[in-house]
Structure formats: C-alpha cells, structure tokens
Amino acid sequence: EVQLVQSGAEVKKPGESLKISCQGFGYSFPSYWIGWVRQMPGKGLEWMGIVYPSDSDTRYSPSFQGQVTISADKSITTAYLQWSSLKASDTAIYYCVRLSGDGYNSYDSWGQGTLVTVSS
C-alpha cells in the first residue's frame, strides 16, 4: 500500500526557519514526482511545487518561487519543504502528494497534512 507520512504539527515565530518532511512507503520512491500543496485556514488548495527524487529536478509555482525550497533524499525516501524565514501568512496545512506514474498527471496519494502555525 502506498503511503505518504508527514512530520508533525509545528508552531513557530515569524522569522524562524522550518523544514517539514514527507516519507514515502510501499512504492519505488525515486521514480515518482512528489509535490507540495498549501491550504490556508478556511481556504482552497494551492499547488506549490514538485520534485523528482531520482535526480532532484524541481519545479515551482511562480507564486512560491523564492519563498520556499523543495528537496528530496531518495536514500531515506523523504521529501522536504523548507522556509528560511517564516511569516504569519505561512500559517496553513501543507500536504505532500505523489504524482501518478501512469502519464495522466494526477495526484493519486496524499499525506495526512502538516499544520504549520506561525505566530508571535
């Protein structure tokens, strides 16, 4: 069974750094793109970016380019989303998602979500 298991909830202050993780189980982790999706409180889903663990090829939404860094370590089947300086507006649930390998470009598996709260 394919599973994406995310790290736990975080509470941070503005200006602090943060790295959250997403570990894949039950499939060949290097061979599937992993993306990140933001959901701000009471709002919709926003596509942030995606990484290919095999070679770390990374793409970003223009809205998130330069604001976050997406990476992966295939040796431990884990993808990451990180911030160097958090803002209150980064408060949201962040989901990692697996891009299906069938060529249909859909997200067939979702992590449970990581709640990030940024408050002074």
Partner 1 sequence: QSALTQPRSVSGSPGQSVTISCTGTSSDVGAYKYVSWYQQPPGKAPKLMIYGVSERPSGVPDRFSGSKSGNTASLTISGLLAEDEADYYCCSYAGSYTWVFGGGTKVTVL
- Span of 8-16, 23-31, 77-85, 99-107 interacting with partner 1 by CB under 8 A: 99-107
DSSP 58-91: EEE-TTTBTTBEEEEEGGGTEEEEEESS--GGG-
- Taking CB under 8 A as the rule, does residue 66 contact partner 1? no
Nearer to partner 1 (CB atom), residue 17 or residue 65: 65
Q: Which residue is associated with the tokens 């803002």? A: 87
CB of 91 to partner 1, least distance (A): 17
Q: Which residue is associated with the tokens 């990581």? A: 114
Give dist(CA 65, CA 3) in Å, integer: 27
- Taking CB under 8 A as the rule, does residue 80 contact partner 1? no
Judged by CB under 8 A, the residue of 46, 54, 69, 71 near partner 1 is 46
